[in-house]
Amino acid sequence: MKFQNNHIRHAMFFSILFAGNLWAMSMEKESSSQLVRNEMKFYSDYIIDSTEVVDDRIRIMGGDLFIYGQTDNKITVIGGDVTIGATAVINGEIIAVGGTVLTHNGAIINGKIIEANLNEGLVYRETFTDSAETRKNAFFELRDKSEWLRDGWIHPKEDFLIYNRNEGARLTFFDSDFDHGDHSPFRLSVSAAYRTALKDFTGRITFEKSFFKNRFFILYGSVFKEAKSDDEYRITEEENTLASLFARQDFYDRWDEEGWELGFALDFNRLKFKAYTSDVQQDSIPVNYSLWSIAEKNRALRENPFVQPSSKVGFYKATLAFQSKNHHPFKTGYAFLVQGEQIVNDGDGEYPDEKIGVDTDELRNRMLIMSRLNWEFSPGLVFRNQTILGFSNGRLHSFRNFGIGGLGSVSAFPYKTKSGNHMIQTNVELIMTPDFTDRDLFFKVFFDSGLAFDSEKMMDIQQISDRKNDFISAVGIGIGTESDDGLGIGFNLAKPLDGSDYLETTVRLHFNF
């Protein structure tokens, strides 16, 4: 098998060289009607010194190209590598077939670089650059390194302090990556935290291996003990911590999971995908009724969802995410997130409200679809929409149900006033940005609406239209300031559309969504 693989690899390599040669010749024929300077051919390495300015067409067969000076025409390299030094100025076109291109910082690329090789899998890239500082990549080009390695998609990065009604203060005292100074395709990530209310430790250890030149494919494995929640889309952990600290409010429902996780991830620029399988032990987290806060010290805390003690669960989960370039609440852009989960076994199969005759070994599925659209239809005026759909079937634990109502959902209604295994939520707002108001403040009007219900079918769309009278809705106005990374501070005033005179006032440190 190894002998055959080598022959296949060699055949593919020479095929791409031959195809590349024909391709390069065809490209040259297309411009043969134009006045072309002398073409030089080399069958060995070729070096352009830092003092040289080359305006001839050059073709190099089987040798490497080193550029430290200026090129103003097309250079084709077949079967060799290209090194572009820090002093190089590329005004023309560089085509590398069967080799790789290494560009040092400082090089000025005003032209175009095309790279096609089989060195680390089939790679085809086109790079266009207007200056040394600004690089514009073709749509299909992969970044030099996956953003997940920095943003914590695979190994979650937690704030130093998280404060809530279940864990008290969760202090992350260790959170580090070990990867040979970001140069190794291997990475070990370790995080550990202490929870004051539970007097225990949580953490995660993850080992990753990234593949190919751009590291867009990653295999990983993790072992962990940590709190989980389905409410991350409502508000950020940072804002929830401040709500707990200042107003004795917590907008997350949590449970504990301890186990392992194996998966892979793909990163295609702004399109990302992750899939994994996991086997965990789930437990409830008690409510810390002595939660300290600066204000509202007598506010009653919500009960925590019940989780069967030490229930073992195995599942598969996949996430697909996309975000347009320069996505920001005040700019035109689009983003979506799709999460699918299939629970393949529940070792205990125990439900407090279980019905007689229900097969506890049946597959249980859960899906969340989130779409966000920002449209600056006139300078300084932005229309924004968030739509969330949730579907599940099978006998899932009640704490995995979807909830409608409360901050981050439908304003001016109690937290999760409606729940079920299906949900739809939409949030619409019109923002008058500081550019429009000619002030340091922005103004907005918004509308929230949602519905949650139970159905035995998966993705029961018909029930949504049949239950249109069961939607809860609210309207409101807001004012706020903008900071460099988002919202500075904002104030919302909302009223439910159910005939009541109730008004809700909230302080926000982030945008509504």
- φ, ψ of residue 175 to 5 degrees: the values are -155, 95
Sheet of 89-90: strand order equals 53-54, 70-71, 89-90, 108-109
What is 363-513's CATH number? 2.40.160.50
As a whole number of Å, the end-to-end CA separation of the chain is 54
CA 244 to each of CA 238, 249, 295: distance values in angstroms, whole numbers, following the listed order:
10, 5, 10
CA 440 to each of CA 198, 326, 340, 481: distance values in angstroms, whole numbers, following the listed order:
44, 22, 41, 6
Domain with CATH 2.40.160.50 in the chain: 363-513
* Residue-by-residue pLDDT tens, the chain, 513 positions: 434 444 444 544 444 444 445 444 444 444 443 334 467 888 888 999 988 999 889 999 888 999 999 999 999 998 888 999 989 999 889 998 888 888 888 888 888 888 876 554 445 565 655 433 333 333 334 444 444 445 677 898 888 999 999 999 999 999 999 988 777 889 999 999 999 999 999 999 999 998 876 778 999 999 999 999 999 889 999 999 999 999 999 999 999 999 999 999 998 778 899 999 999 999 999 999 999 999 989 999 998 888 877 778 999 999 999 998 777 888 899 999 999 999 886 654 444 444 333 444 566 899 999 999 999 999 999 999 999 999 998 777 788 899 999 999 999 999 999 999 999 999 999 999 998 998 889 999 999 999 999 988 888 888 888 888 899 999 999 999 877 666 678 999 999 999 888 899 999 888 888
What predicted TM-score, i.e. pTM, was given to this entire model? 0.70
Please name the residue that has the structure tokens 């175009």: 112
Q: Could you tell me if 291 and 246 are in contact, meaning their C-beta atoms sit under 8 angstroms apart? A: no
Q: Could you tell me if 224 and 261 are in contact, meaning their C-beta atoms sit under 8 angstroms apart? A: yes
Other Cβ atoms less than 10 A from the Cβ of 341: the count is 19
CB within 8 A of 326, min separation 6: which ones?
333
* Eight-state DSSP code of residue 305: P
Other Cβ atoms less than 10 A from the Cβ of 468: the count is 8
Please name the residue that has the structure tokens 């076994």: 345
